[in-house]
Structure 1
């Protein structure tokens, strides 16, 4: 492969990683950019909603003259076909990939296209009418076709939760089938080693072997799960009455030959597994503080670096004119930052005093902080149980996280972005009718007022 081709692939990867599209992600190991792992998060309003769908993208020496080879990896071990165009074998049928022959001009591959356009094309398959993706069913609009599409969506929705959400998180957290935890094994991520001070020469050979597995999206799975947890539970609440536990999935006319989606509805079990995942994530987050305290006692460079970031923060906040923010360390632990946010004058949060807990991983920035609002607030960027949805521009400095949290709390007329729905009820009000919007801001102001009433 020529240097020019490698540079182009590297540029395309960087463009996606530095972009603002929250529904796709890519990663590769530095030693070989030809082999890329990609993640597509299922679009809002579809049966794939907020599922984590992984793909491998392998670039050949003829790229960009010829498209790369793409394989779906979220297939339940080759047993589940998630779409007429995404097979259980991992095959992705798209005209731009040369795996399907489109009928319209311009659908074939061209060197002007690239990795991002491929991922967008795959994401477009994850529609609210996936039944119509099957050749010969494109114009299926009759009553029977609508019924079949609804039945198809029903099982995709269930399996998205089971396979593309729950299985991903259970694997990432080491949760076994009985709910117990397996002994965690270290793995590499796109950010490098898990402990900058660990003496690898003393590691067990089995642990060293486990590090060879490249799992770049584990932290993303965890953070997004916390964002979307309420949505997942609402999905179960809405659809479990329509699909009795133990009832079989309906088989589609085009399914067969092992390329199917078979199974039974078990929403009751899925709900319990979701709750267990959240419990384990809570315990993992709390464990960071204990692990971080031990690192401070050892005077580790990681702890010293975070301490230095904390010491430098007040000057940075003054330069940013963020006079309504105060930050301190919990028990002098640089891995737990307690942020106090004072509602900005002349806003709906005016007069409010809100405390937030910023838990920092000993593997930061490989694992990103988890931020929870400890003071109740009714806000479209804060889940009912306090998880804050925000996006730091430069994730390796905690000061940028502080600034981005403030920006998230203070935005009052943001553009609608379904990828950031962490409080479905508040979101529905804010982007509803004028009456709904007024109700949203009344509840927001009321939550600010309550902070000074006790």
Structure 2
């Protein structure tokens, strides 16, 4: 096997095993040299929690030579998201020799896929205006105004293009709020069995991050709403974007601030995701009746999970199927004694997709729990050790509930109010614990 393929296969595996919340990679098994990657916009930048997709093409001479890198999040070539990420898709930075760097900054075979993605992510800074050569130390008054104006429009387009338009496409939603006439996944499966309906020569669409973006959208929905509320106060509706000195026709970010419209579209996406999750249960019952492999697998996993927690003495919980449906698990957790959850009774559900494990289950608390890693709507932010096993999803949720001294990670802070208190002063932390205990007491009253 070619050494470049061996190297790439190892690098892809290492990134996937790392469970990095900022970077994900994928490729077709038959085409490991063509990699797709998605980078989550860093917190506290105008790119915050946006979904930015890239393609990387590796030659046979990799790692001696850098890959070709292209941005796929460009609004069809109309949006330049950074001085170094062009509207046409070109990504420009020294490591891939698009310009000459300082000594020691050139590409070397010691670098690799992960270092490239981290370098791209570093371009998404809190002040991307300075990324343009010649503007690194811009400090005149008009430069400062441009810096602010540039960040304002990047934030708007991050929400509009990288989040809202992407999710609308994944959910079959038109920008005006109408639903595209497309078959449901169950109907599509039926169509695929009929060669007279589906062209067998047509290439399959490769969308490896579709499910990831849907799940992350639910994590960060409150943050998106809060960002719109904050940003709309800084501009006027229909205000035209300011053009930067380094932008020109065909390679710019042009448009208007339309936050009222973005808010409407954002809320509709949330509604459609909730409907999709509920539809999984109905589709699952159909598959159960057909004795499908997915239904049998989930039934077996459920039975093994029940047996596991019967023997597990460190945690007390019940797991049951809702209406006997193996695609909808209900978990009741009893707070561990001598902890902040002592005496609490919390219920959450795991909704499984008919396409599990390609699509991951969606968890939601039915009992309110005030927690910095659980949204106000009850969506927990967690990462299981194994994505293909329902028990590991339960383990990960219980772990986040009980963890006493978690490391700070802004990507997991999905309840803004609770996060500010939890990571604030001693008095803030006391207030956080009061609110947590209050939610525990209310859980016993329900």
TM-score range relative to shorter protein: over 0.9
After superposition, what is the alpha-carbon deviation per residue over 1:209-231, rounded to whole angstroms, capped at 9, x for unaligned?
Answer: 66611000000010000000000
Structure 1 stretch displaced more, 277-286 or 308-317:
308-317
Q: CA deviation at 1:141?
A: 2.8
Name the residue aligned to 1:390.
382
Structure 1 stretch displaced more, 353-362 or 176-185:
176-185
1:196–1:302 CA contact under 8 A, matched in 2: no
Q: CA deviation at 1:58?
A: 0.2
Q: CA RMSD in A?
A: 1.8
2:143 to 145, 154, 157: 145
Between the aligned partners of 2:200 and 2:364, the Cα distance in structure 1 is: 34
After superposition, what is the alpha-carbon deviation per residue over 1:231-289, rounded to whole angstroms, capped at 9, x for unaligned?
Answer: 00000101102111111001111111311000000000000000000000000000000
After superposition, what is the alpha-carbon deviation per residue over 1:86-139, rounded to whole angstroms, capped at 9, x for unaligned?
Answer: 00010000101111211x222110000000000000000000010000000001
What SS class does the counterpart of residue 347 from structure 2 fall into?
Answer: strand
Between the aligned partners of 1:405 and 1:31, the Cα distance in structure 2 is: 35
1:112 aligns with 2:110: yes
Between the aligned partners of 1:197 and 1:252, the Cα distance in structure 2 is: 48
1:25-36 aligned within 5 A:
25-36=24-35
Between the aligned partners of 1:196 and 1:228, the Cα distance in structure 2 is: 30
Name the residue aligned to 1:190.
none
1:356 aligns with 2:348: yes
Change (3 A) 1:130 1:199: closer
Change (3 A) 1:199 1:185: closer
Between the aligned partners of 2:124 and 2:192, the Cα distance in structure 1 is: 43
What SS class does the counterpart of residue 339 from structure 1 fall into?
Answer: strand
Name the residue aligned to 1:446.
438
Between the aligned partners of 2:15 and 2:300, the Cα distance in structure 1 is: 31
2:428 to 432, 436, 440: 436
1:13 aligns with 2:2: no
1:186–1:211 CA contact under 8 A, matched in 2: no
Name the residue aligned to 1:217.
209
Q: CA deviation at 1:145?
A: 2.0
Between the aligned partners of 2:99 and 2:358, the Cα distance in structure 1 is: 38
Name the residue aligned to 1:402.
394
1:330-341 aligned within 5 A:
330-341=322-333
2:191–2:197 CA contact under 8 A, matched in 1: no
Q: CA deviation at 1:62?
A: 1.2
Q: CA deviation at 1:180?
A: 2.0
1:326 to 313, 318, 324: 318
Structure 1 stretch displaced more, 170-179 or 219-228:
170-179
1:179 aligns with 2:156: no
Name the residue aligned to 2:49.
50
Change (3 A) 1:91 1:416: same
Between the aligned partners of 2:187 and 2:389, the Cα distance in structure 1 is: 18
Change (3 A) 1:292 1:300: same
Between the aligned partners of 1:228 and 1:33, the Cα distance in structure 2 is: 31
What TM-score do you get using the length of structure 1 for normalisation? 0.95
Gaps of 5+ in 1: 188-193
Name the residue aligned to 1:95.
94
Q: CA deviation at 1:147?
A: 1.7
Q: CA deviation at 1:142?
A: 3.4
Gaps of 5+ in 2: none
Between the aligned partners of 1:177 and 1:152, the Cα distance in structure 2 is: 25
Between the aligned partners of 2:276 and 2:178, the Cα distance in structure 1 is: 14
Q: Which aligned segments of 4 or more residues in structure 1 are displaced greater than 6 angstroms?
A: 194-199
Give the number of aligned pairs.
Answer: 446
Between the aligned partners of 1:28 and 1:224, the Cα distance in structure 2 is: 20
Change (3 A) 1:240 1:86: same
Change (3 A) 1:209 1:431: farther
Name the residue aligned to 2:83.
84
Between the aligned partners of 2:203 and 2:289, the Cα distance in structure 1 is: 27
Name the residue aligned to 2:58.
59
1:197–1:300 CA contact under 8 A, matched in 2: no
2:40–2:48 CA contact under 8 A, matched in 1: yes
1:412 aligns with 2:412: no
Structure 1 stretch displaced more, 53-62 or 141-150:
141-150
1:75 aligns with 2:69: no
Between the aligned partners of 1:146 and 1:267, the Cα distance in structure 2 is: 24
Q: CA deviation at 1:453?
A: 2.5
1:314 to 303, 306, 309: 306
After superposition, what is the alpha-carbon deviation per residue over 1:366-388, rounded to whole angstroms, capped at 9, x for unaligned?
Answer: 00000000001111111001111
What SS class does the counterpart of residue 52 from structure 2 fall into?
Answer: strand
